[in-house]
A and B are shown apart, each in its own frame.
Chain A
């Protein structure tokens, strides 16, 4: 059980006592009549062959308050698309699979490109963005919930807790992000623990108090991929197509909505999914690539807020970050010790070294091209260029699912 401390400028909804899933779901049943919710699942076909997906499907089949599911299937042939469709047939409500490699969706991307808009490169960001488009085109939902398909410890309680703050009209939040501890026999979540939080605090040390940095620092797990938001937000928010997806999405939430209408919720006691390799030598792969993209995303957001960056600033930032990260390692070592967890201090220090390199790399890329934003235009922008695009997208998905 967690404490009840409220962190930062957003609301934190803790897991207190023993919350009843039945009560939560029955309330959601009522609220979803006025505020229907669609679940968006970005998935690769390989995940259908893994351990997590069967459990997720089994759990989702028992959920009664969802209006439907929009699953974006990546890296799948036509045959694999049909197999995936069969795998989801156990779910007793509407499930639409968006065949990302299909002929029709390919033409949708082409239509967007030839009108001077960039739908970005293949990845989770673009998949999620496309699913938002479908949900908007269907026009049946008030809210969109999203989680990954590689969660080994998935339970439908996660989804219920994620949806509740947005669907409950008495609470009326527009955005709710999940958080959880990523602990097995050791602590995971290196990028959040050793990069994002120390980096954000280092920048705060250098430039002073900044509302965006406070906003990011308020999230207990800013890189969590699970969230629920209103469809209005899906219409106006731009989405990064690179690894800066989570931070970039938070930046868009910060830009478009008041922090008072944003919350985070404790969705699980334990959370386990696939782990990324550090790939310290290659900045184009693994956690290093993710780290570079996250740094770029933070710098670009701050620059758009009017923060001035210079080479001298980045030199100071590297040193400041390194100290913050080292102090953080010491804190986590103590945390691991009292909880009897394994803690490899050497590995943690190596990770910090790599992240420092990535920070410098991100700064360099930003200084060379501060305008090079990897954001996919929001759906309002796309429909202003191509008025019928949502209809086309809906038709493509519906035809693929026939």
Chain B
């Protein structure tokens, strides 16, 4: 009879012992998550104050980031959006740290993979942001240059350049995120190479006469300069 009871109690004791071992980890997870959420809220509040102090919203309006948000039907203030982004990023980190405290191998592996992937996400975001600024700057510079030179298709050309740059930066970001990197690189090479080749052929074939005129004009001008020298002497 005693054996029978021990048959029942032994597994329960085992479960209890495992739970007793596991419980501090569980408690640690809850404490980490709770404190993490509080910290994330504080960070969000501090960031919002900081962004307000530096007039981030106004800067964002002028730089065109607000326009991008609105195009995506996001109508929060840019500072609030940055605050929320940081908050949720911290929440993800907090949850990963919390789950790490459980000391479960599968979760540990998943967490470490996520942690390793985070810098890639950040650098991809940075590439997109910098790319947007660079695209806007180059686009505007080309537009001003072309309009001042009196080209009729300035806007069309600028749109084409913008598109090319966007393709370039999106490909870079995707490559950074390791989203099917081979396909992305191949697709980018094909698209970008194709566009450049098309432009080269179009300009080469269509611009033979123009190039000939430019070269002839320069040659004549040089000759004239030489002639001038002789005449003055």
Chain A interface residues toward B at CB < 8 A: 103-104, 107, 110-111, 114-116, 385-389, 391-392, 395-396, 399
B71 touches A395 (CB 8 A): yes
Given that A104-B75, A395-B71 are known contacts, is A388 also in contact with B66, CB under 8 Å in the complex?
Answer: yes
A395 touches B61 (CB 8 A): no
Q: How far is the CA of A106 from the CA of B58 in the complex (A)?
A: 16
Q: How far is the CA of A103 from the CA of B67 in the complex (A)?
A: 16
**Does B10 belong to the interface (CB within 8 Å)?**
no
What number of A-B contacts does a CB cutoff of 8 Å give? 41
Interface SS of chain A: helix, strand, loop or mixed? helix
Q: Which residues of A contact B58 (CB under 8 A)?
A: 114-116
Q: Which residues of B contact A115 (CB under 8 A)?
A: 58, 61-62
Given that A103-B75, A104-B75, A114-B57 are known contacts, is A385 also in contact with B70, CB under 8 Å in the complex?
Answer: no
B75 touches A107 (CB 8 A): yes
**Does B64 belong to the interface (CB within 8 Å)?**
yes
Produce 1/0 per residue, B50-91, CB < 8 A to A: 000000011001101011001101010100000000000000
Q: Which residue of A lies closest to B72 (CB)?
A: A395
Q: Which residue of B lies closest to A388 (CB)?
A: B67
Excluding A115-B58, A388-B61, 12 further A-B contacts by CB distance (< 8 Å) are A107-B77, A110-B77, A111-B57, A116-B58, A386-B61, A387-B62, A388-B64, A388-B70, A389-B61, A391-B70, A392-B67, A399-B73
Chain B residues 19 to 64 lying within 8 A of chain A, measured CB to CB, are 57-58, 61-62, 64
Q: How far is the CA of A230 from the CA of B228 in the complex (A)?
A: 55
Q: How far is the CA of A372 from the CA of B73 in the complex (A)?
A: 36
* B97 CB, nearest partner CB in chain A, Å: 35
The count of chain B contact residues (Cβ–Cβ below 8 Å) is 12
* B94 CB, nearest partner CB in chain A, Å: 30
What are 28 A-B contacts defined by CB distance under 8 Å?
A104-B75, A107-B75, A107-B77, A110-B77, A111-B57, A111-B66, A114-B57, A114-B58, A114-B61, A115-B58, A115-B62, A386-B62, A386-B66, A387-B64, A387-B67, A388-B64, A388-B67, A388-B70, A389-B61, A391-B67, A391-B70, A391-B71, A392-B66, A392-B67, A392-B70, A395-B70, A396-B75, A399-B73
Q: How far is the CA of A348 from the CA of B58 in the complex (A)?
A: 52
Q: Which residue of B lies closest to A106 (CB)?
A: B75
Q: How far is the CA of A396 from the CA of B66 in the complex (A)?
A: 13
Q: Which residues of B contact A114 (CB under 8 A)?
A: 57-58, 61
Q: Which residues of B contact A392 (CB under 8 A)?
A: 66-67, 70
Q: Which residues of B contact A395 (CB under 8 A)?
A: 70-71, 73
* B62 CB, nearest partner CB in chain A, Å: 7
Q: How far is the CA of A63 from the CA of B64 in the complex (A)?
A: 39
Q: Which residues of B contact A387 (CB under 8 A)?
A: 62, 64, 67
**Which residue of A104, A385, A391 contacts B62 across the interface (Cβ within 8 Å)?**
A385
Q: How far is the CA of A391 from the CA of B69 in the complex (A)?
A: 11
Q: Which residues of A contact B66 (CB under 8 A)?
A: 111, 386, 388, 392
The list of the 9 closest CB pairs from A to B, nearest first, reads: A388-B67, A392-B70, A386-B61, A107-B75, A395-B70, A115-B58, A388-B64, A391-B67, A104-B75
Q: Which residues of A contact B67 (CB under 8 A)?
A: 387-388, 391-392
Q: How far is the CA of A107 from the CA of B70 in the complex (A)?
A: 10
Q: How far is the CA of A399 from the CA of B74 in the complex (A)?
A: 11
B70 touches A396 (CB 8 A): yes
